[in-house]
Amino acid sequence: MDYEKALEFVERYYANSWNNLLWLLAVAFGVIGILMPIFLQWIQNRNNKKEIERINKENKVLFEKHINEINEKFIEIENRIQFLQGITYVAQGNTLMKSNASPEQLINAFLYAAYNFLLANYDQNLNYVIRTIGDIVNLNAFPKEITSIDDGINIREIYDKTLFLFDKRNTDGRYSSIISLLKEKIKFKNR
């Protein structure tokens, strides 16, 4: 009988141990099955946040680069428009010279041309305009008082704007002669 009791005890012990082991494994797999995905999700979220920050920084740099490129193109287009307007005013001034227009109309056309060339930073045609303004002033008995508004055209306004730009760009003194010529020879009646 002792043998049967010992055998029964061993069988019960191993059966209980096996059941306990199965429960332990089930609980462990349950815990791992719940905690492991949560832990992996946490790691993935952290990595995603870092990746999103990196992508946002790259996008910001690319966006700023593209904005700068667009601004440069816009400035280039703006300068071309200013240049074309300057050419138009030179053509208008040349046409007015051929039709014996008043000195005020000639000065107005060539001041607009100079103003647009200055805005466009285009000095090649500006030299022609400066020489032409000098010729108009010297050939038409300036200094004389001219009206600020001639046939509805505000000569004084373009005079002031052009003189301002000449002053601003005169860092090396190359526009000093035209600045002094304009200030010395052109006077306005209602100043």
pLDDT tens over the chain, length 191 residues: 687 887 788 788 877 888 888 888 888 888 888 888 888 888 899 888 999 999 999 999 999 999 999 999 999 999 999 999 999 999 999 999 899 888 888 888 999 999 999 999 888 888 899 889 888 888 776 666 676 655 556 788 888 899 999 999 888 888 888 888 888 888 777 54
Q: How far apart are CA 137 and CA 167, in angstroms?
A: 19
Q: How far apart are CA 34 and CA 30, in angstroms?
A: 6
Place of tokens 């500006």: 126
Question: What one-character DSSP code corresponds to residue 147?
Answer: -
Q: What are phi and psi of 60, to 5 degrees?
A: -65, -45
| pTM higher than the cut 0.85 | no
Paired tokens of 177: 């002669």
Q: Answer for the pair 128, 140: CB distance below 8 angstroms, yes or no.
A: no
Q: Where are the domains of the chain?
A: 76-188
